[in-house]
Chains A and B, each alone.
Chain A
């Protein structure tokens, strides 16, 4: 590794830590599901089960809020990455469908101890 290789490596790591610090700020607010689609931004409580239908340019993406978790069950996109991402449970996690322009994330308080984490991986 040469001097500027180290510079870009450190810069990448600093950017990672800085953006993580900006995004994953713990709050005492209740956990909520924030849905962004081309029609706007909508917020739903995480502790109330429901089925959401978000309309994007390709069609309807179906999102379920079930037992404190959120997952996409159906999407008109071709690669279905949003479905493969599985269920998210904690603040900061997200499910996104780029082709259909749907973005779902959990906002609010930090995860309860013992709750699953990094399920987006």
Chain B
């Protein structure tokens, strides 16, 4: 049973959203990957949806849960692949959090936030692929990453927006937190 008081409830909420991220990361295995380590970004949905009511520290904790959890699920926690995806996730989060809180809602919706996050994530991955992992030849992945990232960024943003707009559960969570 949830204990009364603000902090425990939010800690549980962060943990719950973290678990959702892991669930979505596992779901991604259902979809074929057209290029190595490209992700649909399903595990970003809880991050996107919670932008409106989690504090920066809570969002960072959720990001940590997501990154470490997906590293465990994917079996990449102890490899350079983990640093690769962590850097991309952090860049994406900082861009999304900054835009969501700095830009007025009349100018930008979750769709744009998601698109910008996908752009940041893919740009960081391409730069790391070229400078750290493979070398200049990896530039050939750039158009594929940006093209696919545009599609998935749009889809995730639209999905998060619809969920925020219509979910009674999220409404209750927001009201209680």
List residues of chain A with CB under 8 Å of any chain B CB. 1-9, 11-13, 15-17, 19-20, 22-24, 34, 36, 41, 57, 78-79, 81-82, 84-85, 92, 94, 96-99, 101, 103, 105, 120-121
B137 in contact with A103 (CB, 8 Å):
yes
Q: Is B115 an interface residue (CB 8 A)?
A: yes
State the main secondary structure of chain B at its contact with A: helix
Set A13, A81, A92: member contacting B36, Cβ < 8 A: A81
A23 in contact with B111 (CB, 8 Å):
no
Q: B interface, how many residues as a size bin?
A: 35 or more
Bound form: Cα–Cα A16–B106 in Å: 27
Q: Is B30 an interface residue (CB 8 A)?
A: no
Bound form: Cα–Cα A79–B36 in Å: 10
Bound form: Cα–Cα A96–B34 in Å: 11
Q: A4 CB to closest chain B CB, in angstroms?
A: 4
Most chain A Cβ neighbours within 10 Å, of B36, B76, B139, B146: B36
Question: A12-B146, A81-B33, A120-B35 are known contacts. Are A5 and B115 too (CB-CB below 8 A)?
Answer: yes
List residues of chain B with CB under 8 Å of any chain A CB. 32-37, 74-76, 79-81, 84, 99, 103, 106-109, 111-112, 115-116, 118-119, 129, 133-135, 137-144, 146-147, 149-150, 153-154, 157
Set B35, B81, B134: member contacting A99, Cβ < 8 A: B81
